[in-house]
Amino acid sequence: MIKSLLSLLILIPSLIFSQSNEDFYINGNIKVDNNGVDWIPLYTLGEPALSGSFSIGNDRFSINPNFRYELDGLQPWAVDIIWNYKLKNKGKFNIDIGAFFPGASFQRIEVDEEKLPDIIIQPWVTTLTTTKLTYRFNDSFGLSFLYYEGFNLKKVNDDQFDGGRMFFLQPEIKQFNLTNKIKINWLPQLYTIHISADKSYYGFLAASTLQIGFKDFPLSIVNIVNQSIDFGNLTGKKFDYSFGINYFFELNFIKK
């Protein structure tokens, strides 16, 4: 599965950008943190994790693979391939559409079979459609509304969710400088989760991501905090946090 995904990631961007006269970029973040917080802040691995998120694209289209591993033994935790298209990217009101195709999370399943290990790793493969609406009040501040609708591509056991939806509301705050050398990125979020299974699970939560780094230096410190407002009947921790170190790189290519 991983080999097939990597082949697609190499082949498809090559075909797309070879036919384009536009410039394109490649960037990425590689992070090590103590708690393995996912892109949905409620969900964590609960132990040290290594994650990598990458993007290749131009001013409208991008492909964004995201890989997460347990730090101990580098066992896979989740893989998402995110496709994104900026339907409208000029003016105050912008629209992005996209999909997680595929999205895979690797679950530890206990088994009671003589010929099998006590625990096996089982992939749950899903897809998510995404819509992001952003209104920019000025160059420094905007407000985004994100909607995710999820579906199973293959159901492998009864514990797997049938689908779900999520809504995120988040300010878009421009990076600001604390001093001439120290820069800060801050992303607060309000979000709801509604998951369909044998019963419905729902909740309303708040999260905050704070990233502190130095100007012209690729390493930064990242702190993520997640707090429930109405936990409903979700499972997990009502309050959780993580600390990590992030490495960022960016390459820009100009076609001549």
Helix or strand (DSSP H, E) at 256: none
> Looking at residue 153, what is its pLDDT?
83
**Which parts of the chain register pLDDT below 50?**
1-2, 6
> Looking at residue 74, what is its pLDDT?
85
State how far the alpha carbon of 133 is from the alpha carbons of 119, 167, 222, in Å: 42, 11, 26
Alpha-carbon torsion 168, 173, 179, 181, what sign?
positive
Task: Judge whether 57 and 24 are in contact, CB under 8 Å.
Answer: yes
> Looking at residue 117, what is its pLDDT?
64
CA distance 140 to 138: 5
Q: What are phi and psi of 36, to 5 degrees?
A: 60, 55
> Looking at residue 2, what is its pLDDT?
47
Sequence spans of domains, the chain = 2-249
CATH architecture assigned to 2-249: Beta Barrel (2.40)
